[in-house]
Amino acid sequence: MTNGYAIRPETVRQAAKELTAAGDRLAQEWQSLVGTVEGMGAPWGNDDIGMLIGESYLAIQETANESFTGAADDLRAFGEKLTLVADNHEKAEQEMVGNINSISAALNG
C-alpha cells in the first residue's frame, strides 16, 4: 500500500498488553512506596517544625496519589481501548473480505 498505513491487530494487541502492564506496575510501585513511608510512622516528629513538614508532606502525598493512581488507571484504559481497536479493525477487515468475495462470486456467476 502506498501513501497509507497498515494496521496489524496482533501488534496493536501487544501494545495494549504492555500499556495495561505499565499501568499495573505503576500502581504497584506507588502502593509499595506509600506502604514504605507509612511504615515509618511520622519521621518528621511532633514539634512545631515537624508538624509543618508532616502537613506539607501529607498534602503533597495526596496530590501525588491522585496523579499516580490516575495515570495508572489511564494506562489500563488505553490498553483496553487499543484491544477494542484491534478487534474492531480485524472484524471490519473480515467483513470487507466477505463482501468482496460475495461480489466477485456474483459477477463470475
pLDDT tens-digit map of 12-66? 999 999 999 999 999 999 999 999 999 999 888 889 999 999 999 999 999 999 9
Give the residue numbers spanning the domain of 16.
Answer: 12-98
Q: Confirm whether 6 is domain-assigned.
A: no
Of 86 and 104, more confident: 86
- For residue 23, which of 59, 69, 60 has the smallest C-alpha distance? 69
CATH number at residue 16: 1.10.287
pTM confidence score: 0.79
pLDDT band for position 2 (cuts 50, 70, 90): low
Tell me: pLDDT of 69 over 90: yes
Q: Confirm whether 56 is domain-assigned.
A: yes
Angle, CA 71 vertex, CA 69 and CA 72 arms, to 5°: 65
What is the reported pLDDT for 55? Answer: 94
